[in-house]
Amino acid sequence: AEPVLQLEDLTVRFQLKRGRLTAVDGVSFTVHRGETFGLVGESGSGKSVTARSVMRLNPSPPSEVVRGRILFEGENILDKNDSDMRELRGKRVAMVFQEPMSALNPVYTVGAQISDALRTNLGMTKKEAQERVIDLLSLVGIPSPASRFKNYVHEFSGGMRQRVMLAMALSCDPTFLIADEPTTALDVTIQATILELIRSMIDRFNMSLIFITHNLGVVAHTCDTIGVMYASHIVELGSTNEIFANPLHPYTQGLLNSIPRLDTQQKFLTPIKGLVCNMLEPPNGCKFHPRCEQAMDICTQEIPQMKEVTPGHFAACHLHN
Ligand code: SF4
Ligand code: MG
């Protein structure tokens, strides 16, 4: 499949009152047509800033892209004007969030909101839009969609709100979906059904997906490829099978040891020791070194570069140099 989204050396800086912070540092990866890409890491690692850069949703100021390119279908998003960006957000790339209330307006019925988007973005008539909304609500598994059309967001349960937000995201036939922790706030069984729903929509419409999560276990069955982020860098990149079978970076190994596994008799999970990196004063060398049990002298001095360790499997760690 051809590449749809290519991030090349993306570097995003925030100028805050407390100081300057590089939230995304030299991030490069490619997502192909139909591919599902999991972006995994702790909160504050730069996952959401990376994803929002694709939609150009990071407020500027205080954020600034200081280096790199974001090619979407071959065109650099960073060169686009505001009207091109509106077109891109409305029709080609859609995003779902952890909190549906941030995407859905509480004072309009969900039917009115989604049909407004359809009329604005696709020029549908009122009647066409209404029919399409009912189809969409049914597609994402909302029971009696015709009668739910006139409901407000608060009249839906947490899981149903996520379905409504997904319907909104799918309304304009995007080719690319970005899901930022869409299941984190839900309980485990609802998480699984929403994940399954997203996966089936991706397959059905041959979309590409970036799925953001702090839980490596969540992407095991959802994503083809995984990028692990730590403290603004991608530290490991490879196929999901490779990452689970042969994790190269100590941080990825730590993430794997901290997820519950059904296939072993493991009694205790081992959280990664140490504190999350302070991004305003990151350590020299490998940013993971204060927490790494395998750290060597070089790790405190030199930032490890991304290296292809086995075909298609990359890691940024001095153990693999
Ligand atoms: Fe650990 Fe060194 Fe690898 Fe960083 S570069 S993860 S400190 S071994
Ligand atoms: Mg986030």
Side chain identity at residue 128, one-letter code: E
Q: How confident is the model at residue 156 (pLDDT cuts 50, 70, 90)?
A: very high
- Cα–Cα distance list, 23 to 113, 157, 278, 302 (Å): 33, 34, 11, 19
Q: Provide the mean pLDDT of the chain.
A: 92
pLDDT of 103: 80
- Residue identified by tokens 């540092």 is 25
Global ipTM: 0.97
Q: How confident is the model at residue 1 (pLDDT cuts 50, 70, 90)?
A: confident
* 52 CA → ligand 2 middle, Å: 10
Q: Is residue 296 part of a domain?
A: yes
Q: Which residues contact 136 (CB under 8 A, 6 or more apart)?
A: 114, 167, 170, 171
Q: Is residue 179 part of a domain?
A: yes
Helix, strand, coil share (%) of the chain residues, nearest 5: 35, 25, 40
pLDDT of 90: 78
Q: Is residue 121 part of a domain?
A: no
Sheet bearing 208-213, strands edge to edge: 93-96, 176-180, 208-213, 36-40, 225-230, 233-239, 313-315, 307-310
Looking at ligand 1, which atom is closest to the CA of residue 300? Answer: 7
Report helix, strand or coil for 225. Answer: strand
Could you tell me if the CB of 292 is within 6 A of ligand 1? yes
Q: Is residue 303 part of a domain?
A: yes
Q: Is residue 134 part of a domain?
A: no
Q: Is residue 217 part of a domain?
A: yes
Q: Is residue 144 part of a domain?
A: no
At residue 267, does pLDDT exceed 60? no
Report helix, strand or coil for 19. Answer: strand
* 209 CA → ligand 1 middle, Å: 30
Q: DSSP letter for 99, please.
A: -
pLDDT of 98: 84
Do residues 26 and 10 make contact, with C-beta atoms less than 8 angstroms apart? Answer: yes
Could you tell me if the CB of 165 is within 6 A of ligand 1? no
Q: How confident is the model at residue 300 (pLDDT cuts 50, 70, 90)?
A: very high
Side chain identity at residue 93, one-letter code: V
Tally of domains in the chain: 1
pLDDT of 4: 97
At residue 265, does pLDDT exceed 70? no
What proportion of the chain, given as a percentage, has pLDDT over 90? 78
Q: Ligand 1: which of 294, 302, 320 to mutate, most ligand atoms within 8 Å of CB?
A: 294
Say which ligand is closest to the CA of 253.
Answer: 1
By C-alpha distance, which of 317, 270, 273 is closest to 291? 273
At residue 227, does pLDDT exceed 70? yes
Could you tell me if the CB of 303 is within 6 A of ligand 1? no
Q: How confident is the model at residue 269 (pLDDT cuts 50, 70, 90)?
A: low
Tell me the backbone φ, ψ of residue 232, rounded to 5 degrees: 80, -10
Q: How far apart are CA 232 and CA 22, in angstroms?
A: 7
Looking at ligand 1, which atom is closest to the CA of residue 289? Answer: 7
Say which ligand is closest to the CA of 233.
Answer: 1
At residue 263, does pLDDT exceed 60? no
Mean pLDDT in residue range 199-217: 93
At residue 266, does pLDDT exceed 90? no
Q: How confident is the model at residue 147 (pLDDT cuts 50, 70, 90)?
A: very high
| Strand ranges (E), the chain | 3-16, 19-32, 36-40, 63-72, 75-76, 93-96, 176-180, 208-213, 225-230, 233-239, 307-310, 313-315
pLDDT of 252: 97
Q: Is 256 exposed, middle or buried (0-12, 13-18, 19+ CB in 10 A)?
A: middle
Top pLDDT among 11 and 188 is at 11
Q: 40: domain range? A: 3-107+152-320
Mean pLDDT in residue range 3-30: 97
Q: How far apart are CA 214 and CA 47, in angstroms?
A: 9
62-92 tens-digit pLDDT: 999 999 999 999 999 999 999 999 989 878 9
Report helix, strand or coil for 42. Answer: coil
Report helix, strand or coil for 165. Answer: helix
Lowest average pLDDT, out of 92-101, 162-171, 253-262, 266-275, goes to 266-275
Q: How confident is the model at residue 138 (pLDDT cuts 50, 70, 90)?
A: very high
What is the CATH number for 225? Answer: 3.40.50.300
Q: Is residue 37 part of a domain?
A: yes
At residue 169, does pLDDT exceed 60? yes
Q: Ligand 1: which of 273, 286, 298, 321 to mutate, most ligand atoms within 8 Å of CB?
A: 286
Could you tell me if the CB of 168 is within 6 A of ligand 1? no
Q: How far apart are CA 263 and CA 285, in angstroms?
A: 36
Could you tell me if the CB of 250 is within 6 A of ligand 1? yes
